[in-house]
Structures are given as C-alpha cells and as structure tokens.
Amino acid sequence: MAKNKFNKAWVHAHLNDPYVKLAQQQGYRARAAFKLKEIDEQEKLIKPGMTIVDLGSTPGSWSQVAREILVKKGVINGHIIALDMLPMDPVEGVHFILGDFREDAVLEQMEQTLQTLGVEKVDLVLSDMAPNLSGVESADMARIAHVCDIARDFAQQWLKPDGALLVKTFHGSGFSQIVESFKQVFVQVAVRKPKASRDKSAETYLLGKRLKPQK
C-alpha cells in the first residue's frame, strides 16, 4: 500500500512539474531537454559545425536540443550521432545506432558513420545515462561510477583533443572519486546542477573539457 501511495505521489508530482509541461508544450520528448539547454547556455558547449555523440540517447530529448542549436535556416550545420540499446523514434538529421556502444560491432557502425560524414574525431560527447538504482547506496554508487567510467573511456577514444564530455552523475559516497577520475583525463572539470534537475534529487552533471595528453 505504501508503495502505491509513493507511486501516486510521484506521478502527481511529475504531471505537475513545470518542466514536464514545458517539454510537452515545446515538443521535447522529456524534461531532460531543459537540463542540457541550461548547461549549454552557461557553457556554450554546442556550436555550429560540430560533430556530437549522444550516448544513451533514448527517448531523444538531448538529440533534439543539440539539433535545434545546430540548425540554421532549416539546415543542420554539423552532425549528431545517437546511440542507445533501446529503440529511439527518429529525430530529423540525427544518425541513430541501436546497440551497446561497448560492443565492437556498434563501435564499427559508428566509425563507418563518421567516415561517411568525413569526420575522424568528435567535438562533444553527451551522456544522460543512468543505471537502474536499487536504493542501496554503496551498490548504486558503484553502478553510477561504472556508467561514468564507460562514458569517459569512450570520450578518451573518440574526442578531439579540445573536445568536451558532459555526463550525468549523482552525489554520494563515491562522487569525489568520479570527479578525481575526470581530473586525470581532462584539463578542466566542473560540476553543474541545472535548475531543471529536481532539488530533492542527488543528480548532478560533470563536465570535462580538453583532453590531457595520454601517457
């Protein structure tokens, strides 16, 4: 019964969330669109001509935002490649690859897509991925750290030297270690908590800019 009450309370809060309503009004597939929009307004991450990879892209709201910023006079000036293990409804001009980006076959597809586009490395990697959380903090932080690790490893492989990586993470017992792991890879590391991220949520975003030379 308590679980039912909790679910009803969550649904009620979600439906009355101003960002959920805004997303519906503006045609975004999820309220998460406003998190990226706010961070981008602050950091100017997305610029015309860029090649952007959106990891764990489904349902596609971050790809929508990236596309919106790259479009000028109805034409996309740049490229967006979205990857997810779950299907995603098409976003015009976005190249979607279905599969796990840790698998060679999926990475080969991405490499072929980049070659077709005449691009070798990417300017920006976005990741709004989050693991399924159990409520057990130690287990959850290990899962969160793992998701950040695989996004960081991907970025190290595919980013241009002056590129950037934006990932979702969560405050908790292992947060400082995640930040430290980013500092070993990036010249600049910043923590961002957009207004669209719920106050009660431990969710936050980690931004790494400019790769350090690999030893």
- 70 domain-assigned: yes
How many domains, the chain? Answer: 1
Q: What is the pLDDT of residue 13?
A: 57
- 11 domain-assigned: no
Is pLDDT of 7 > 80? no
Q: Which of 194, 179, 115, 104 is nearest to 149 (CA)?
A: 179
- 49 domain-assigned: yes
- 63 domain-assigned: yes
- Please enumerate in sequence order all residues whose Cβ is within 8 A of that of 2, keeping only pairs 6 or more positions apart, or say none: none
What does the pLDDT look like over 46-86, one tens digit per residue?
999 999 999 999 999 999 999 999 998 888 999 999 999 99
What does the pLDDT look like over 86-139, one tens digit per residue?
999 999 999 999 999 999 999 999 999 999 999 999 999 999 998 887 888 888
Which phi and psi (to 5°) does residue 125 adopt?
A: -115, 125
The answer to pTM > 0.85 is: yes
How many Cβ atoms are within 10 Å of 36's Cβ, its own excluded?
Answer: 26
- Please enumerate in sequence order all residues whose Cβ is within 8 A of that of 146, keeping only pairs 6 or more positions apart, or say none: 131
List the beta bridge partners of residue 124: 52, 164
Catalytic residue among 3, 168, 195, 209: 168
- 2 domain-assigned: no
Is pLDDT of 10 > 60? no
Residues 39, 203, 127: CA angle, nearest 5 degrees: 60
- What percentage of the chain reaches a pLDDT higher than 70? 92
Q: What is the pLDDT of residue 113?
A: 97
Q: What is the pLDDT of residue 132?
A: 83
- 55 domain-assigned: yes
Active site annotation includes 73: no
- Beta strand pairing call for 203-211 and 186-192: antiparallel
What does the pLDDT look like over 164-198, one tens digit per residue?
999 999 988 889 999 999 999 999 999 999 988 77
Nearest-Å Rg of the Cα atoms of the chain is 17
CA distances from 6 to 3, 21, 31, 133 (A): 5, 21, 21, 16
Q: What is the pLDDT of residue 206?
A: 97
14: pLDDT confidence band, cut at 50, 70 and 90? low
Domain of 162, in residue numbers: 30-211
9: pLDDT confidence band, cut at 50, 70 and 90? low
- 7 domain-assigned: no
Strand (E) positions, 59-185? 71-72, 75-76, 79-84, 94-98, 122-127, 159-170
- 179 domain-assigned: yes
CATH number assigned to the domain comprising residue 162 = 3.40.50.150
154: pLDDT confidence band, cut at 50, 70 and 90? very high
Q: Report yes or no: 109 and 146 within 8 Å, Cβ to Cβ.
A: no
Cα–Cα distance for residue pair 197/94, rounded to 1 Å: 25
